[in-house]
Structure 1
């Protein structure tokens, strides 16, 4: 059976546009099954909700390290990181290509450097390329071109890259798929009383100061600090950001249905989302009050 696909440009979309960013830890730990699940959801987003997606992925260096068995030290020399990136980029794209094909979709790899966004001319070329790919219903899969980027001319992490792409491509929403449920009011690893924050109007300097800027896993360079910084950049241009666990079942479709999950940053809540958030908070508050009442009753006995 032929896998050839005819590309036909469609009229300029009047629907919604998302930028979805996924980190190294999710790509490497989730593997082919999780990536296939995401691609199947992209197909449903387009067909059922009219949402087109620009995908930003990490995982090249981490995938190369796992394949080669080289050290996972973040302090590795720049030349080693660049070489690992060159090994890892095709490994990551192989995962996406298999998943895309199983979903009946076609993807396109786009590797970026800092100058591609800093230069007006090159940024315009990038926008034109991405718009053309989207008009063909092709999924753009972006990553920083770490094989040639130097420490002085890097985005820093793909959280920053995704925020810049979301603002320049006029996305409605930036979705950051991570390995935690969202933003908490305190570190849930250290304090069991930590509560998930369902909505944050804006990211303030205080939020950034209270977050560890040296965070991130052994596989990735980002942490909650870089995600909040990206959300702050996006919010300044009117783009809502959602921080959410990426391996939750049908997570992208649930977000499309305005289910309250993860942490939403920016934009005022719509009526439906406000109702859903109220229900969610009501349940959470009810559980908390129930536990508190139960403890008090237990003491009185």
Structure 2
């Protein structure tokens, strides 16, 4: 049985200050297909709590305390929508909120691993997010790409799939250069690429291509492949994850 971590970004889950319910539903359908038809063990790492909170209370998100408050409001809203849609597929969800420190303590890591194994053995879908309410530094500088990479490593996944507003890794920025070419397979990432300027692509996002490269680099060093594809149109994700057909998107592997 394959164990797959799927990470979805804020830019996919929110649009115009609202939750992007259609895209969330499409993601749920994909995960249900993987769990019910392919018999995969799936762990979902989901961003979007701050964006979801903003739909209920329009606080100034430049203030850290406000962003933490928005995360506190948004996390149950996000989970409510996930639970409703997954229930239609007969899938029960569980929530796990983690921070980087949880993977720095052997005791806390082992506790989390024990819980994860119980959930997966009982076919429960774990939904993981960073605990933004208490994680000051992580909220400012961290991102769920890094979290997802550590989730894949510490919870013994066979692969991480990141579904984003970025549909793959190109030889140059496709938003600036018309002749940019997607790299379908990447086997190494140089230091210059890892040190590129960090850019987020959503007012609520903390990620960008650099955080994804850092996640891929960490996983490749630990012999775990990572797939990067669009979360807006899941056609390529279905081809690769369901049909084992790599038509598009980037796979990072040694």
Please say whether Structure 1 and Structure 2 have the same fold, judged by a TM-score greater than 0.5: yes
* Structure richer in helix, relative to its length: 1
Residues 125-136 of structure 1 correspond to what in structure 2 (within 5 A)? 125-136=111-122
Equivalent residues in 2 for 1:87-102 (5 A)? 87-102=73-88
Equivalent-residue separation in structure 1 for 2:13 and 2:220 (angstroms): 26
Give the CA deviation at 1:40.
2.1
Confirm or deny that 1:116 pairs with 2:111.
no
Count of residues in correspondence between the two structures:
249
Confirm or deny: 8 A CA contact 2:162 2:228 kept in the other structure.
yes
Is the counterpart of residue 52 in structure 1 residue 46 in structure 2? no
Shift of 1:136: 0.8
1:125-162 deviation per Cα after TM superposition (whole angstroms, max 9, x unaligned): 00111111011101000001111112279881111100
Structure 2 length as normaliser, TM-score?
Answer: 0.92
Q: Does 1:253 align with 2:207?
A: no
**Of 227, 249, 253, which aligns to 1:262?**
249
1:93-172 aligned within 5 A: 93-151=79-137, 156-172=142-158
**Residue aligning to 2:183:** 197
For residues 91 and 7 of structure 2, what CA distance do their matches in structure 1 show? 18
Distance 1:122 1:153 in 2: 21
**1:225 maps onto 2:213 in alignment:** no
* SS in structure 2 at match of 1:35: helix
Q: 1:154 to 1:142 in 2, by over 3 A?
A: farther
Which structure 2 residue ranges, 5 or more long, are not aligned?
Answer: none
CA contact (8 A) 1:114 1:154 kept: no
Superposition deviation, residue 250 in structure 1: 4.5
Contact 2:5 2:42 (C-alpha < 8 Å) held by counterparts: yes
With over 3 angstroms needed to count, the CA separation of the structure-2 counterparts of 1:202 and 1:50, relative to structure 1, is farther
Aligned-pair distance for 1:258? 2.2
Q: Distance in 2 between matches of 1:193 and 1:62?
A: 33
Computed over aligned residues only, the root mean square deviation of the Cα atoms, in angstroms, reads: 1.8
Aligned to 1:42: 31
CA change 1:251–1:117 in 2 (3 A) is same
Structure 1: give runs of 5+ residues left out of the alignment. 1-14, 268-301
183, 199, 210: which one aligns with 1:214 = 199
Q: Cα 1:34–1:152, aligned 2, differ >3 Å: closer, same or farther?
A: closer
Q: TM-score, length-normalised on structure 1? A: 0.78
Deviations 1:183-237 (A, max 9, x none): 111111111111111110122213223x332333212001100010011111111
Kept in 2, the 8 Å contact 1:113–1:154? The answer is no
Shift of 1:99: 1.2
Secondary structure of the corresponding residue to residue 5 of structure 2:
strand
Q: CA–CA distance in 1 between the matches of 2:72 and 2:216? A: 29
Contact 1:215–1:222 (CA<8 Å) still a contact in 2? yes
